[in-house]
């Protein structure tokens, strides 16, 4: 009975040890030998919107987080001021056109008179006046085109289809040129960036299938590797005042693997799935296993022929004796 009890306890111990080794091996393969990371970010192209002309905002046509289509108006800037500017430019154009016609007739009339009445200098002056009037007319024409362009840009429109975010403009605000008033997230530009450890880069291949699960626990997303970054910042080196390398003299003995950005294209979204730029996700490369180490060539176990060993020994002795000759 004691022998059976000891054998049973031994079997239980062996089974538990085997299970622990199996679990440990699987955990090691999952965490160390497979290509996956929890450090994934959903990203999208964000376009900052600003006015191309200066003026008072007269109306805002959208609200925060609204979906807008490409070309739809976002806000309007002081249309009346630029309507007046266009009218002034058109009036100046008409005046320059009349001036150009007057100068042309005057030059033609002087060209038809006899040399005894009009001097050559007077004719040249009239011709130069025609050239000046023509140039001023072209400048006025360009001013009209610019006034039309400014009037058109009083209505700021969405450059892409997407979501309005960070709305910071209201009726009555002054819009300065180039100062961002809101942002639009391109709804067709969502992608994922995974920050993989450098030790896992050999497991990553272009166009490899990828599975992504958002931290919110929603439906599984699928995609493929679109590109891998070719450089990251070296935090231990910077540029000094003399444009020389300023290398950190201290060395951290606990070295962590650097993380390299990997851009992942989202192949498709489940019905009703909405993405939010900046959220996190877990990324797993499908069927990515650690490459097997290269096999070393096996050494030949066959003994060398006796003739070969004899000839080798003879040649060695001959060379040794030759080296000791005077």
Domains and CATH numbers, the chain: 36-44+188-285 (2.40.30.170), 79-153 (1.10.287)
How much is the pLDDT for 33? Answer: 63
Three-class secondary structure assignment of 180-232? EEEEEEECCCCEEEEEEEHHHHHHCCCCCEEEEEECCCCCCEEEEEEEECCCC
Q: Rounded mean pLDDT of 171-177?
A: 93
How much is the pLDDT for 312? Answer: 38
Per-residue pLDDT band for 303 (boundaries 50, 70, 90) equals very low
CB 35 within 8 A of CB 291: no
How much is the pLDDT for 237? Answer: 74
How much is the pLDDT for 131? Answer: 83
| pLDDT tens per residue across span 251-273 | 777 778 889 999 999 998 888 88
- Cα–Cα distance for residue pair 102/93, rounded to 1 Å: 14
Choose the weakest-confidence range: 1-5, 33-37, 135-139.
Answer: 1-5
Can you give the pTM of this predicted structure? 0.70
- Cα–Cα distance for residue pair 169/174, rounded to 1 Å: 9
CB 107 within 8 A of CB 123: yes
Say which residues have a Cβ less than 8 Å from residue 99's Cβ, sequence separation at least 6. Answer: 133, 136, 137
Per-residue pLDDT band for 116 (boundaries 50, 70, 90) equals low
| pLDDT tens per residue across span 185-240 | 999 999 999 999 998 888 899 999 999 999 887 789 999 999 999 999 887 777 77
**Would you state the structure tokens that stand for residue 45, as one six-digit string?**
């192209």
How much is the pLDDT for 124? Answer: 72
How much is the pLDDT for 319? Answer: 42
| 207 vs 324, more confident | 207
């Amino acid at each position: 009975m004691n022998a059976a009890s000891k054998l049973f306890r031994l079997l239980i111990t062996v089974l538990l040890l085997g299970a622990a080794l199996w679990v440990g091996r699987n955990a090691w393969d999952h965490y160390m030998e497979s290509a996956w990371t929890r450090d994934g970010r959903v990203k999208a192209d964000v376009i900052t919107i600003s006015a191309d002309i200066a003026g008072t905002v007269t109306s805002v046509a959208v609200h925060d987080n609204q979906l807008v289509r490409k070309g739809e108006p976002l806000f309007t800037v002081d249309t009346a001021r630029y309507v007046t500017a266009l009218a002034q430019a058109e009036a100046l154009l008409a005046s320059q056109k009349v001036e150009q016609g007057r100068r042309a007739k005057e030059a033609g009339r002087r060209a038809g008179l006899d040399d005894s009445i009009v001097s050559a200098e007077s004719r040249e002056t009239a011709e130069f006046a025609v050239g000046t009037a023509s140039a001023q007319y072209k400048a006025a024409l360009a001013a009209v085109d610019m006034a039309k362009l400014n009037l058109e840009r009083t209505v700021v429109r969405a450059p892409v289809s997407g979501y309005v975010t960070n709305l910071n403009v209201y009726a009555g605000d002054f819009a300065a040129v180039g100062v961002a008033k809101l942002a639009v997230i391109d709804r067709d530009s969502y992608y994922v960036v995974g920050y993989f450890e450098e030790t896992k880069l050999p497991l990553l291949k272009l166009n490899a299938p990828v599975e992504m699960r958002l931290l919110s626990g929603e439906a599984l997303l699928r995609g493929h590797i679109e590109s891998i970054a070719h450089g990251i910042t070296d935090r231990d080196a910077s540029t000094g005042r003399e444009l020389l390398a300023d290398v950190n003299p201290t060395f951290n003995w606990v070295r962590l693997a650097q993380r390299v950005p990997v851009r992942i294209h989202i192949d498709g979204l489940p019905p009703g799935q909405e993405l939010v730029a900046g959220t996190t996700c877990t990324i797993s490369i499908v069927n990515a296993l650690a490459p097997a180490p290269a096999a070393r060539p096996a050494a030949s176990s066959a003994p060398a022929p006796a003739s070969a060993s004899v000839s080798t020994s003879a040649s060695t002795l001959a060379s040794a004796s030759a080296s000791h000759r005077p």
